[in-house]
Structure 1
């Protein structure tokens, strides 16, 4: 009985992988980037689900080993893994900066809708809440380069815009740094390497950040160490 080329293409990869041990598969997976590890975990239960006697899936274990080998001690301390969190996300967090020209072709068009204007947006965001958000009611907090003011919202019906001690605007060009202290629950602002002060207090839980630009300019984004 003859086997067609199409049938052979479907059968050979699975049969070949079945004879490989986990150690060899982990070594092969170590050559994948973070996106590749995500795709690997989705290909089959063997790669994406912990097997008998295993604490992690093969994809997660490969990501964990890559993170431990490539991250510095300081980076590991600032990127802890929480219960229920995938290891695959940790290598992504090590990415140095964002290349707006190569990755985004200089074309970024986010959708801006205030929660007070479109309540359905706020409801959708709040529906994703987990225990990791903590007890803080501050869900969005921004620094405005135009006037240096702090704006925040709880994605419900409370918003705020206020001046803060040390507030300064970014008049022309320069570097603005934001330092989130998860222990103290503060967001501090740095301008050209100098600390202006704590812009907002009472923060807790998980946070992400964004940059808002209201005029034509050139932007560079990078991760750095806080000045002494």
Structure 2
């Protein structure tokens, strides 16, 4: 036997001893794992991740009001609106098409205003009884922004907007006149009240007829449109609530029935209305 053969045998014996040692360790570990009383402390802990899902569609104005009670400035309220669409985007169920943050801001102003401060604000007319054919005009002049009013319907009234005419003496007509239709001879008297504030829009009066849902508008000159079909045409019944939203920033007059949007009654509006 040569010296090389002796070296090879020695290497094989060494390698065999290492393998037997590894096998012994594996058998020992296997035996330990097979014993329940000994394996409890050998098992590694398992970390369970908890994911919390928040349905923001269930967040209403009352919850947002509580959150915003910790905010100190209007800028912080704006930042909340910019956080996500659920806070800052317009709500489809909102009659005024407000976002949650806008509604919270409105509630905050109303809750903090004193009785004297609220008394200084102009009052919107809320219609309640229309049992006869009577022309009723509110004295509050709307020149910019968005304005909303509701009317509880009884009978078949015409509801709409008209130019402010503070110098018009309605007593001269014995109360017998209409802003659209009726006695056309009074139209020149209406136009005589025109001011520069009326602007370029030739829509001086616009109305919604609750009986059949048609609309009408006029410029008290050559344009007189009565019984006009429009996209949201729908009649109303006694007991319904009709809402009107005049948005002078967008130049639209929108009609709602029982808090459901019917559509834009008229577009291209500008200047003051009441």
Report the TM-score, using the length of structure 2 for normalisation: 0.37
Larger radius of gyration between Structure 1 and Structure 2: 2
By relative contact order (CA 8 Å, sep 6+), the higher-ranking structure is 2
